[in-house]
Structure 1
C-alpha cells in the first residue's frame, strides 16, 4: 500500500511524510480481534443516483502522489459524481498547513460536509476550527473534535486475518514449528502499529496456540529500503534457518524483505504476509508460493463508504460512529478473482 493498508494506509494505508498509507492510519474504533464479538465493519454502498443533487461536499486528500491515496481519491470523485453532488477537492500534500488552508477554502465556498484524510491528528483541532461547522467524516486518521464518523482500517482485524492465514500455513506444512518470526513495523504509528502487528500475532496463535509466536524480532522497517536492510541483517543472523516467517505493516515492507532474500539466494527461506494488497503485490501473491497472504483494504472502494455516509450526515440521518472496511484475506487462490492482475 504505498503510503496507512492502507499507513504502512503511508506506502500504503506512514507517519510524517513517509510514502507508506498503512502507517498513518489511526483507527477510530477500539475494535475486537476477529472472533471476539462478530464482524466490525460496514458494507460498501454504491450511491443512489441523484442522492447528492444540490449538495456541495468537500474532500481533503492526504497526498495524490501516493498510489494508495490516489485510489481513494478516484473512488470518492466517482461516487460524488454518481450522486450528483458538487465535490470541492483539495490535496494537502501531506502538509497540515495546507490541510488548514483546504478547510478555510471549504468555509469560503460553503461546503456542507467534507471528508478529511489529512495525516496529522494533532493538527485536527485547528483544522476543524478553520473549516465550516458541518459534518466531517475522518478517513484513516482521527479528526477530533469535529468528526461525526470515522472510516477506514480496522487494524486489529486486518492483522488478525493475515496472521491466521500464516498460522494455517505453519500448522499444515510445519506442525507450527519454524525458525523465526520477524515483524516489520512502524513504531511511530503508535496504536495503529500495535493493533495491526499485534493482530498478526493473535491470528497466528489462534491456530498454533498461545505462546506459539517464538523467536520474535520486531524491526522498524515500513519502507522497501528499510526492510531490505533489516531483513538482510536478520538472514545473516539466521544462517541455517529455512522457515522464517516475515509479516509486514504494508506491502512495501514485504517487497523489501523479498528483495533482501533474493539478493542472497534465500528467497525460499522466507514466508511472508502483508497488509494492503495494493497493485504492487498482486503478481507476487499470484506467483510466489511463499507469499502466504495479504489483507485487502480496498482503497479503490473507499468512496462507496465515504460519500453515501457523508450525504446521510448532511441530510441529518443517523450514521455509525465507525465505518470500518470489511477487510479480506487475499491469496493465490482468489487474487485473480478480486483484482485480475496483468501478469
Structure 2
C-alpha cells in the first residue's frame, strides 16, 4: 500500500510540473469571421486561412458572416465566448463595426479587419483608391484605342452599405479615366446602388439603358464581379454589349471563366485582382508580428493588378485556377 501511495504521489507531482508546460505550448486560438461562403471569393479566403493557420501552428475557429451585419455581431459574441486570443474580422456592413469593436475591445482581443476598416483594428486589404484609379486607367486605355477617346456616360455601380472606405474602388474610376486624357463633365457620371446583388444590378442597369437608348459609349465600374455580371447581362439582353466598356473588382471565377469562354472577345475587359487565395498568407503574416510583440502598422495593403485577356494566362492559368475543386 505504501508503495502504491508513493507511485500515486509521484504521478501527481509529475502532472503538476507538466501542466504549466502544456499550457505554455497550447496553440494560440484565432477567430475568423468570413465575408460569406456562397461564392468562390469567400471560399478561397476560407481555404487559405485554414491552410496557413495549420501550417503555422495556430488553432482557427471559423464562422460565416454571410455578408450580413446582424450575423457579424452574433458571430462576434460566439467567438468571444470561445476564448479566442486574436480576431480576424471580414465584415462588409460598416454600420455595425463600432458594435463589433466595442465587444472585442471589452474582451481585450486584438482585431485584424479585412477590406472594411473597423476603428481600432489593424487593417488588411484593398488599397481602394489605387484599385479604383487602376480600373479607370485600364478603361481609359481601351477607350482611347477603341472609341477615339470619347465617352458619353460613366456609370458607377456603388455599394453604400460598405461605407466610405470602400467607396474609392468605384469613385476613383472617373479620375483614372481622366488620367488617360479623356475629358467629360461630372454631369455625365451616373451612380447606381447595386445592393451587392447581380439580379438587382441587372434590373437597375437595364433601366439606365432604357432611359438612354442613344448612348453608344458608356464606361462602367462595379465594386465586384457579382455586380459586373449583372451589368453585362443587362447589356447583352438589350443587345448593347458593344455600347459599354466594363471594369470590375476582385477577379473571381465570375470574371475569369467567362473571359476564357469567349477568348477575350468581350467588353467586360478587366477585373482588378485582390488574390483572395492568398489572404491567409497575408493576414497570418500580421498575426505572426502580433504574437511576436512587434509594433504593427495601422494598415497593410494588397498589390493590385488589372487582369485582362493579355495577362490572364500568367496570373490565372486555366489548368490551375485557385477556386478549382471548391
Superposed pair shares fold, TM > 0.5: yes
Query: Does the Cα contact within 8 Å between 1:53 and 1:84 map onto a contact in 2?
Result: no
How far residue 99 of structure 1 moved from its aligned partner, in angstroms, is 4.0
Task: Return closer, same or farther for 1:297/1:53 CA change in 2, 3 Å cut-off.
Answer: farther
How far residue 114 of structure 1 moved from its aligned partner, in angstroms, is 2.1
**Matched residue, 2:234:** 260
**Matched residue, 2:109:** 134
Task: Within 5 Å, give how 1:1-343 maps onto structure 2.
Answer: 54-94=27-67, 96=69, 98-131=71-104, 132-145=107-120, 147=121, 149-192=122-165, 194-209=167-182, 211=184, 215-221=188-194, 222-286=196-260, 287-341=264-318
Cα RMSD between the aligned structures? 2.6
| TM-score, normalised via structure 2 length | 0.79
SS in 1 for 2:109: coil
Task: Pick 1 or 2: higher relative contact order, CA cutoff 8 A, min separation 6.
Answer: 1
How far residue 209 of structure 1 moved from its aligned partner, in angstroms, is 4.6
| TM-score, normalised via structure 1 length | 0.75
Task: Return closer, same or farther for 1:334/1:212 CA change in 2, 3 Å cut-off.
Answer: farther
Q: Could you report, residue by residue, the CA deviation over 1:254-311 in whole angstroms, capped at 9, with x for unpaired residues?
A: 2112211222222222221111111111133343331222111111111111112112
Which is higher, the Rg of structure 1 or of structure 2? 2
CA distance in 2, matches of 1:274, 1:211: 21
How far residue 203 of structure 1 moved from its aligned partner, in angstroms, is 0.7
Larger fraction in helix: 2
Query: Does the Cα contact within 8 Å between 1:228 and 1:260 map onto a contact in 2?
Result: yes
**Matched residue, 2:19:** none
Count of residues in correspondence between the two structures = 290
Q: Could you report, residue by residue, the CA deviation over 1:199-255 in whole angstroms, capped at 9, with x for unpaired residues?
A: 111111111256466722222224221222222223223333332222212112221
**Matched residue, 2:13:** none
Q: Could you report, residue by residue, the CA deviation over 1:120-177 in whole angstroms, capped at 9, with x for unpaired residues?
A: 44444443454441322111223333x2x11111111111111001111112223311
CA distance in 1, matches of 2:187, 2:69: 40
CA distance in 2, matches of 1:97, 1:179: 40
CA distance in 1, matches of 2:178, 2:253: 29
How far residue 105 of structure 1 moved from its aligned partner, in angstroms, is 4.7
Task: Return closer, same or farther for 1:63/1:194 CA change in 2, 3 Å cut-off.
Answer: closer
Structure 1: 5+ residue stretches without partners: 1-51
Structure 2: 5+ residue stretches without partners: 1-24, 322-326
